[in-house]
Copies of this chain bind each other. A is one copy, B any other.
C-alpha cells in the first residue's frame, strides 16, 4: 500500500473498530464517539481548556441530528481537523 492508501485504511479501520461496540455497527453512538475522540485525539482534547469541548465537538459532528455519527460525518471532522493542523504548521 502507498502512504496515502495507508492513511485512508487507518481512517476506515479506526471508525469500524469504534463503531463495532454497542448499537448500530455502521455508526458511532454518542458514547462510542466520545471514547474514540478520547482515545485517538488525546493531544487535541488536552490542548483544549474547556472541559465541555468533547460534548461540543460531538454535537457539531452529528450533522443530521440523529445522535449517531455516520462515517461521512466522522471523515468531515477528521478532514477539518487535518486542515486546521496543516494551517497552523504552515504558519510556523
Contacts and interface: CB of A to CB of B under 8 A. Distances in A.
Main secondary structure of the interface of A (DSSP, over half): helix
Nearest to A37: B4
Copies in the complex: 2
A3 interface: yes
**Chain A interface size, under 10 / 10 to 19 / 20 to 34 / 35 or more:** 20 to 34
Interface in A14-64: 14-15, 26, 39-43
Given A2-B41, A3-B40, A5-B40, 16 more contacts: A2-B39, A4-B10, A4-B78, A5-B43, A7-B7, A7-B8, A7-B10, A7-B14, A11-B82, A12-B85, A12-B86, A12-B89, A26-B90, A71-B83, A72-B83, A75-B82
